[in-house]
Amino acid sequence: MSGGALYGANVFANGIRQHYLRYGGFGSAVILIPGITSPAITWGFVAERLAERYDVYVLDVRGRGLSSTGPDLDYGLNAMAADVVGFATSLELPAPALLGHSMGARIAIRAAVAAPDAFSRLALIDPPVSGPGRRVYPSKLPWYVDSIRLALKGIDAEGMRAFCPTWTDEQLKLRAEWLHTCYEPAIVTAFEDFHKDDIFPDLPKLKQPAMLMVAGRGGVIETVDEDEARSLYPALEITRVPNAGHMIPWDDFDGFFAALGDFLSR
Burial class (CB in 10 A: 0-12, 13-18, 19+), 52: exposed
Residue 123: strand, helix, or coil: strand
Domain-located, residue 98: yes
Q: Are 41 and 65 in contact (CB under 8 A)?
A: yes
CA distances from 154 to 47, 159, 180, 264 (A): 27, 10, 8, 38
Look at residue 149 and tell me if it is in a domain.
no
Pick the catalytic residue from 158, 170, 222, 231. Answer: 222
Given a cut of 70, the residues of the chain with pLDDT beneath it are: 1-3
Instruction: Report the pLDDT value the prediction gives residue 1, as an integer from 0 to 100.
Output: 45
SS3 per residue for 221-239? CCHHHHHHHHHHCCCCEEE
Q: In the chain, pLDDT over 90 holds for what percent of residues?
A: 98
Q: How many residues does the chain have?
A: 266
Q: Give the DSSP H/E element, type plus range, for residue 174.
A: helix 169-178
For residue 108, is it within any domain? yes
In a domain, 71, yes or no: yes
Question: Does residue 57 belong to any structural domain of this protein?
Answer: yes
Beta 16-23 vs 55-59: how paired, if at all?
antiparallel
Contact by Cβ (8 Å): 44, 58: yes
Inter-residue contact 148 to 69 (CB < 8 Å):
no
| Cβ atoms within 10 Å of 38's Cβ, excluding its own | 25
* Residue 138 within a domain: no
Residue 3 is predicted with a pLDDT of: 63
191 within some domain: no
Sequence-ordered list of residues with C-beta below 8 angstroms from that of 234, at least 6 positions apart, any chain: none
Q: How far is it, in rounded angstroms, from Cα 5 to Cα 178?
A: 17
Q: Count of domains in the chain? A: 1
Catalytic residue among 67, 102, 120, 147: 102
Q: Which domain holds residue 121?
A: 7-132+197-265
Asked about 222 being catalytic, the answer comes back as yes
Q: How far apart are CA 59 and CA 266, in angstroms?
A: 23
**170 noted as active-site residue:** no
pLDDT of residue 262: 96
Q: In the chain, what are the helix, strand and coil shares in percent, each to the nearest 5?
A: 40, 15, 40
Q: Is 235 a member of any domain?
A: yes
Q: Are 212 and 238 in contact, with CB atoms under 8 Å apart?
A: yes
> CATH number of the domain that 222 lies in?
3.40.50.1820
Contact between 116 and 207 under an 8 Å Cβ cutoff? The reply is yes
